[in-house]
Amino acid sequence: MKQKLKELEQEAAKLRSTQQGAAAEEAEEEPAGEASGKEEADTRSVFVNNVDWGATPEELQQHFATCGTVNRVTILTDKFGQPKGFAYIEFLEADAVDNAIMLDNSELRGRQIKVMRKRTNVPGLKRGRGRGRGRGFYGAPRGRGGYYGGYGYGGRYGYGCGGYGYAPRGRGRGRGYAPY
């Protein structure tokens, strides 16, 4: 039994050391390489809005070829594969972005396109903490749930407000009930 326990402890120590080594390698690689590479690519990219749904990446590349060398064309699609109507164009040179912005309000496939610099996403921006449950009728539409509306009713005396205020038990007669 003691030998089995010793083997398990050795195995656990070995596992801990390999996990710590892997975590240290990830910490060294990720922050500097990934973030700076994306930001650098964003400085060489433009956002193109009001793109025709039938437009191909080759057409967009040809339209922006006068600005500079096009590295990548990305046309975003929804979950069904239909184009959303906007695209990102990445250039090899950063000064090509200024030339591309001059093509703002130009025409592609009979539509006037809008060209602007690609912005870099800031993680956590616009997230907020959220409202959660139990905030009166602000959290959910009226009339959801049980006899007094469950969560989100926000009615008289605070019934069903997720623990705020007085919530009656039993048949729900509440405060102030006078049968006679």
Whether the Cβ atoms of residue 38 and residue 88 lie closer than 8 Å to each other = no
Instruction: With beta carbons less than 8 A apart as the criterion, state whether 75 and 55 touch.
Output: yes
> Would you place residue 71 in the very low, low, confident or very high pLDDT band (cuts 50, 70, 90)?
very high
For residue 45, is pLDDT > 80?
yes
Closest CA to 133 of 124, 144, 122: 144
**Three-state DSSP state, 137:** strand
Q: What is the mean pLDDT of residues 160-172?
A: 54
**pLDDT score at 14:** 84
Look at the block and give the residue holding tokens 């972005």.
Answer: 97
Please tell me the distance from the alpha carbon of residue 176 to that of residue 154, in angstroms, as a whole number.
18
Residue 140 has pLDDT above 50, yes or no: no
Give the DSSP H or E segment for 6.
helix 2-43
110 Cβ contact list (under 8 Å, min separation 6): 52
Q: Which residue has the higher pLDDT, 177 or 62?
A: 62
